[in-house]
Structure 1
Amino acid sequence: MFDMVKIGRNIAKMRKEKGMTQMEMADKMGVSYQAVSNWERGETMPDISKLPELAEIFEVSIDHILENQKGSSIVHTFVHHNTSEFLKNNEVTVEDFSAIAPILKAEQADEVFEHIKTKFKIQDMIALAPFVSTELIDECARTAFVGEGIDELKHLAPFMSDEAIDECARKSFETEGIESLKHLAPFMSDEAIDECARKSFEVEGIESLKHLAPFMSDEAIEECARKSFETEGIESLKHLAPFMSSEAIEECARNAFEAGGIHSLRPLAPFLNQGVIEKWIRAGIEQTS
């Protein structure tokens, strides 16, 4: 990768040598002064279409702006030649692409990636994901999922489409079970999460939901909790209780108290309002006196 801090300092140095302010340089290039400021602080880099303008303003070569770092010669070629033509006649490695990706236009990055994607491992894709289109990321993710399984997608997930994430998650759930979704759950849609959770609950019971519970909808959590309470009792709710609404917890606790007394509340006691428990106790004493 380019050392953006070094390049930023280089741009700032050359701008000052020309006696220009950041605002004056920004006006010349048709960008905001914040963009120029970000370049000079090393937070971003000028995209490839701006490099010829910078070179002209500073009266230097593009290689000089990029401090002749690895990838600068390829960038120079991309600026002055058709990308497709260059890719036909030149070898571009994964390492080369990693170096130039941050300053390529989106369509150029996709074109280069499409040309060399068979050389990529999923670990390479993680670093390049911010520069490549979602469509290509989804394609790579699906291929990795088929070959390596869902765990390979945990780093790519923030860059995948919702559709691709849910598709892979549902397939993994069907073959590997709900445990396999724990890394992908934060990126799945509510609909897919609830669908898998309900299916798992029906087959494996409420214990199986402990990894998905933080991501389930309130409606799905309470539906499963009430069913589990009816068939397994209040003890079965201990893993889901932190994610249930206070109303649902009180409803189940009240039913348990009426059927089994104060001792039956032990599994849910940490989640109950002390005043509510005391009220039930007083009501029970009054009924028996």
Structure 2
Amino acid sequence: MILFNAGNIGRKIANARKTKNLTQLELADYLGVRYQAVSNWERGQSMPDIEKLPDLAEILDLSLDDLLDRPQATAEVSALQNQNEVVSEETLTEYAPLMKPQKIAAKLTNVTVDLEHLKALAPFLTSELLAELLTQALPEKNDFQQLASFAPFLQEEQLQYWIDVTDLDQLVLHFKEIAPLLPFLSKATNDRLLVQVCQTEDLARHDLQQLLPFVSRAALFSMMQKTPLDMELVQAAAPFLGKNYTTKIFQDLLAKGEAKAITGLLPFVDSEILLTAGTQEHDPAFFKASLPFLKKEQVDQLFKEETTQHTLEDDALKIFLPFVSKETLFQYVQGQLAKNPTSFFNELKVAFPFLNQNQLSTLFTKPEKGDTPHENF
């Protein structure tokens, strides 16, 4: 298919308009369009409608052949505008970007369009007409590979027709061809596919994972409850389950002692549940992994509880530093230095990069009397 060069055509329009000593506004008035349309034509950002082309060429003293840089343009445009004159599917496809959908539909009543030309015409047809033509052009109802090319231009209920006339077993059999259709199908349809896919042993995990973004949360959660535990699949599904369902799975796994295996779920779990789990689990690795996904005030709460009970060791303090609030950290450092500046300085200096300038200045400011922490800095 030959595409018109909008840039070249725009330059021809601009040059011819200037030669005729016309402004964009005057040319627009002659053609019954807004001057912005003329401006867009001349900049190559759009093309004139086919109905405007003969008048445009006449006003600018150009032939259509010259304007469109196409030897048969005059005859082709005339044929396309004559409702009774038959044109080839090739010509119709090439001029479709310049035609209104109703004009294209009128011409298609006398033209048999094959699949390749229909693909090119699809963006310019109404979804109703496209669906009608597809039922004629697709002899095999389960030719989902071809159907995928048209999916972006069909309504959900129109696309549903090809799904409804195919058995679920056949849909699963052709799953790889159906996969590109998933974003355009209803969640109800994809939920049914999910159930069927889970019952098919020879489908790879990758095939199942392609469904995850397009099924309902309830169906996905139900599937996770019924199938054998597969942590890779659980973690792949987590972004699409929603916080409530992911938290339920998290709690179930935690109750089974699977704390180490579920760290991939942490970003998707309710922070209150995560906070409780973090305090109950005596697993430093799990505790550290959960901190980035807690709210700042929750981290502060944990930090205060830990520091109330005992002075934090260097490694334990480092775990908290990126996540605790500056104010809470400052209060802790200030309190420890006040107790024993000499002993605690080396242990606490790791916290200094996480404090702001004013807080550091306060720590380093020398009081009027007595020994001070700053004398050891």
Cα displacement string for residues 216-262 of structure 1 (whole angstroms, at most 9, x for unaligned residues)? 110001111112211234234223123223322221122223xxxxx
In structure 1, the gaps of 5 or more residues are 258-263
In 1, distance between residues paired with 2:103 and 2:41? 22
Q: In 2 relative to 1, CA 233–24 (structure 1 residues): closer, same or farther, beyond 3 Å?
A: same
Q: In 2 relative to 1, CA 202–283 (structure 1 residues): closer, same or farther, beyond 3 Å?
A: farther
In 2, distance between residues paired with 1:164 and 1:152? 16
Q: 1:86 aligns with which of 110, 118, 125?
A: 110
1:112 matched to 2:133: yes
In 2, distance between residues paired with 1:278 and 1:272? 11
2:359 is matched with none
Q: 2:24 aligns with which of 21, 24, 45?
A: 21
Cα displacement string for residues 172-198 of structure 1 (whole angstroms, at most 9, x for unaligned residues)? 23445894431232233xxx2343234
In 1, distance between residues paired with 2:159 and 2:131? 10
In structure 2, the gaps of 5 or more residues are 74-87, 97-101, 293-298, 312-377
Q: CA deviation at 1:163?
A: 4.0
1:229 matched to 2:229: no
Q: 2:185 aligns with which of 160, 172, 180?
A: 160
Higher-helix-fraction structure? 1
1:241 is matched with 266
Cα displacement string for residues 41-98 of structure 1 (whole angstroms, at most 9, x for unaligned residues)? 45x667xxx4234344435669x859479955235799488456425xx4x2112212
1:260 is matched with none
2:330 is matched with none
SS in 2 for 1:204: coil
Q: 1:73 aligns with which of 91, 95, 98?
A: 91
2:285 is matched with 266
1:181 is matched with 208
Length-normalised TM-score, structure 1: 0.68
Q: 1:33 aligns with which of 32, 36, 39?
A: 36
Quote the sequence identity (%).
Answer: 16
Q: 1:134 aligns with which of 156, 172, 180?
A: 156
Checking the alignment, whether the CA contact within 8 Å between 1:22 and 1:36 is kept in structure 2 is no
Q: In 2 relative to 1, CA 169–96 (structure 1 residues): closer, same or farther, beyond 3 Å?
A: same
Which deviates more, 9-18 or 205-214? 9-18
1:3 is matched with 3
In 2, distance between residues paired with 1:186 and 1:230? 28
**Structure whose alpha-carbon radius of gyration is higher:** 2
Higher relative contact order (CA 8 A, sep 6+): 1
Q: Which amino acid aligns with 2:286?
A: P
SS in 1 for 2:150: helix
Q: CA deviation at 1:151?
A: 3.2
Q: In 2 relative to 1, CA 256–205 (structure 1 residues): closer, same or farther, beyond 3 Å?
A: same
Number of aligned pairs?
A: 269
Checking the alignment, whether the CA contact within 8 Å between 2:190 and 2:214 is kept in structure 1 is yes
In 1, distance between residues paired with 2:288 and 2:123? 54
Which deviates more, 128-137 or 218-227? 128-137
Which deviates more, 141-150 or 110-119? 141-150
Q: Which amino acid aligns with 2:291?
A: L
Checking the alignment, whether the CA contact within 8 Å between 1:162 and 1:187 is kept in structure 2 is yes
Q: CA deviation at 1:39?
A: 9.8
